[in-house]
Amino acid sequence: MPYRTTDRTRDKKDAKRTAMMQAAVRVFAEKGYHAATVRDIVAAADVAIGTFYFYFPDKETLFVYLYEETADFLLRTVEQGLRRGDSWPGRLAAALQSFVNIATYEPAVVQLLLVGGVGAVPALVESRGRFRNELADLWQEALDEAIAAGELRPQNSRLTAQGLAGAFDEIVLHLLSLPEPTMVAAAVIQEMTTFALRATGYSQ
């Protein structure tokens, strides 16, 4: 057999696939689902239009997939942050650090998740709902642990979790709209932590 699906060719294919997905994330984040055309994406990835359809079934499927991948990445990152600290303030600060890191170094991730294509892709409504729920789950679990540990007073941890998630989004989105987000990131993390400690009724 003169032609083999060797490791090298497979690696190459995977690499191209990954490159195209990264290009797609950038374009989707920048323009939103509808305004981003397949031509934009292939131009960003520097391939022909047919190549797109060789790797992906269609634009919508790719978008939903990227959304879910991205959501998963964000969730896992925040989750790891939450595991890093040994007290509620510590876990909180670590998780916010993680979140703000993603936002400043991979702004496309946040753009895609928070403003990308909601309302544009029916199939996404469900994905978005799942994402917001899982994000709230994450915070709620952390809250419940802190409550169980006596660090926080009993409260409606579900609603608190939702409130925190929404608050962090708003603040980070605003941060990203500043000319030099990295310059103030540390201070914002500090302030967000303070806000969140208050919001969760943490004293001392």
Q: Does 55 bind DNA (CB under 7 A)?
A: yes
Q: Which two tokens stand for residue 29?
A: 């984040």
Which CA distances in Å does 157 have to 90, 137, 163, 164? 18, 10, 10, 10
The DSSP code for 6 is -
Indicate the SS3 state at residue 27.
helix
Q: Does 39 bind DNA (CB under 7 A)?
A: yes
Gap between the Cα atoms of 54 and 69, Å rounded: 20
Q: Does 118 bind a second copy (CB under 8 A)?
A: yes
Q: 32, 36, 24: which is closest to 69 by C-alpha?
A: 24
| Residue window 163-192: x/- pattern of binding to a second copy, with contact defined by CB under 8 A | xxxxxxxxx-xx--x----------x--xx
Q: Mark the segment that binds a second copy (CB under 8 A) among 26-34, 61-69, 86-94, 96-104.
A: 26-34
> For binding to DNA (CB under 7 A), which residues are involved?
1-3, 5, 9, 12-14, 16, 34-39, 47-55, 58-60
> For binding to a second copy (CB under 8 A), which residues are involved?
31-35, 111, 115-120, 122, 129, 132, 136, 155-156, 159-160, 162-171, 173-174, 177, 188, 191-192, 194-195, 198-201
